[in-house]
Amino acid sequence: MSGCEIPEPRLRCVLPFEAAPPEVRLLRKAVVGQLGRWGLLAAADEAALLVTELATNVLKHVGEGASATLILEWRGGRLRVEVHDKSRTIPALRSAGCDEECGRGLHLIAACALDWGAVLTAAGKAVWCEIPLSAGKGSRRVERAAEALEGYRAGCRGRHGKMTEAGIEESVIELIADLLHWSVARGHDPDDVLDLAQMHYEAEADAA
């Protein structure tokens, strides 16, 4: 089973497969491996569950051995999972009390996914779903730092409009210096503060 990718800002992986129980298991492992390479392991369990349901629906409703294709696409804060097959029968949710042959997998997909749907294609149909991707700790820190720096710049006289990279670096240094002054005014040792901040940074960078 081989895949191909296209670079950011959109990451995309295409995995052809045959609808058979062993292939579904391999597909699930391939998805976990791909998300690991993209740094999205936090979403791997949910994505693997959705892929299993989509692939199993092909096995049940199109037929064992049917050719299909899984597409993973990471755009912004969402992971999109699509399964394409050659059947032109669009699946639909049945009543909540139906048995497993009438769409239990779709109910699970609808419950787990942020959004889902099915569309006809030139070769058959595609069933897709999307799940949100939570930002990692490092990303949240970057977002908070950007917000803090923007507020800091807004409060400084003469800081208006778009800044150069050199100007941004100067603002970062001044902000850190002001925070050290603030810490000293409250009785903290500035060297201890910097050492602790460095330790937090290195620990999170190593874990990423």
The one-digit pLDDT tens for each residue of the chain (208 residues) are 556 554 444 789 999 999 999 999 999 999 999 998 888 888 888 899 999 999 999 999 999 999 999 999 998 789 999 999 999 999 876 644 444 444 557 777 888 888 899 999 999 999 999 998 865 555 556 556 766 776 676 666 555 455 556 677 788 888 888 889 988 888 888 898 888 888 877 776 665 5
Do 30 and 103 reside in the same domain of the chain? yes
CA atoms within 13 A on the CB side of 161: 2
Query: What is the spatial distance between Cα 189 and Cα 193, in angstroms, rounded to a whole number?
Result: 6
Do 10 and 106 reside in the same domain of the chain? yes
The two tokens of residue 69 are 């294709």
Closest CA to 126 of 117, 135, 134: 117
pLDDT at 3 (0 to 100): 62
Do 97 and 145 reside in the same domain of the chain? no
pLDDT at 71 (0 to 100): 97
Task: Mark out the alpha helices in the chain (DSSP H runs).
Answer: 21-37, 44-61, 104-112, 137-154, 165-185, 190-207
Quote the number of domains for the chain. 2
The DSSP letter of residue 90 is: P
The DSSP letter of residue 187 is: T
Q: What is the CATH number of the domain that holds 66?
A: 3.30.565.10
Do 158 and 199 reside in the same domain of the chain? yes
Query: What is the spatial distance between Cα 39 and Cα 35, in angstroms, rounded to a whole number?
Result: 6
The two tokens of residue 34 are 């791909």
pLDDT at 1 (0 to 100): 57
Domain stops at, among 80, 98, 132: 132
Do 17 and 105 reside in the same domain of the chain? yes
pLDDT at 89 (0 to 100): 92
Do 76 and 106 reside in the same domain of the chain? yes
Do 19 and 45 reside in the same domain of the chain? yes
Query: What is the spatial distance between Cα 31 and Cα 35, in angstroms, rounded to a whole number?
Result: 6
Query: What is the spatial distance between Cα 168 and Cα 102, in angstroms, rounded to a whole number?
Result: 58
Domain stops at, among 132, 155, 186: 132
Do 202 and 150 reside in the same domain of the chain? yes
Q: In angstroms, what CA-CA distances link 153 with 150, 160, 163, 176, 179?
A: 5, 8, 10, 13, 14
Domain stops at, among 84, 108, 132: 132
Closest CA to 126 of 100, 101, 89: 89
Residue labelled with tokens 């807004």: 154
Residue labelled with tokens 């778009």: 162
Do 98 and 199 reside in the same domain of the chain? no
Q: What is the extent of the structural domain holding 199?
A: 137-207
